[in-house]
Amino acid sequence: MVKNAVRVEVKRGKNESSASLIRRFSRRAQGLSLVRSLRTRRYYVRQKSKNVDHKRALIRSARINEYNELVKQGKIDLSAGKTKRGKK
């Protein structure tokens, strides 16, 4: 069920072409910002909880610390550098 549904109704004039009718409908829908709101709802992504974000941040910082420790120990050579795909 759609909440806050907006109805856009356009009636065809006597000598109005179908192209101008569609154009008038589009303008009215844009005026109600109907298209923009539908596009934002199209790919709805649920908000993550604070706990999930916090856990991911802890994991990320642990990985970064581990990487930096390996660099200090000389196990990772920074002078080799990262190469782009297909190129050396």
Please state, in angstroms and rounded to a whole number, the distance separating the CA atoms of residues 81 and 29: 53
Q: Give pLDDT, residue 1.
A: 47
Domain count, the chain: 2
Mean pLDDT of 7-29: 86
38 shares a domain with 58:
no
Q: Give pLDDT, residue 5.
A: 65
Q: For 1-88, where are the E strands, in sequence order?
A: none
41 shares a domain with 17:
yes
Q: Which domain holds residue 69?
A: 48-78
Helix, strand, or coil (residue 87): coil
Whether 87 is in a domain gets the answer no
Mean pLDDT of 47-55: 93
Whether 6 is in a domain gets the answer no
Q: Give pLDDT, residue 82.
A: 67
Please state, in angstroms and rounded to a whole number, the distance separating the CA atoms of residues 19 and 88: 56
53 shares a domain with 38:
no
pTM recorded for the entire structure: 0.42
Q: Is residue 74 scored above 60 in pLDDT?
A: yes
Return mean pLDDT, the chain: 83
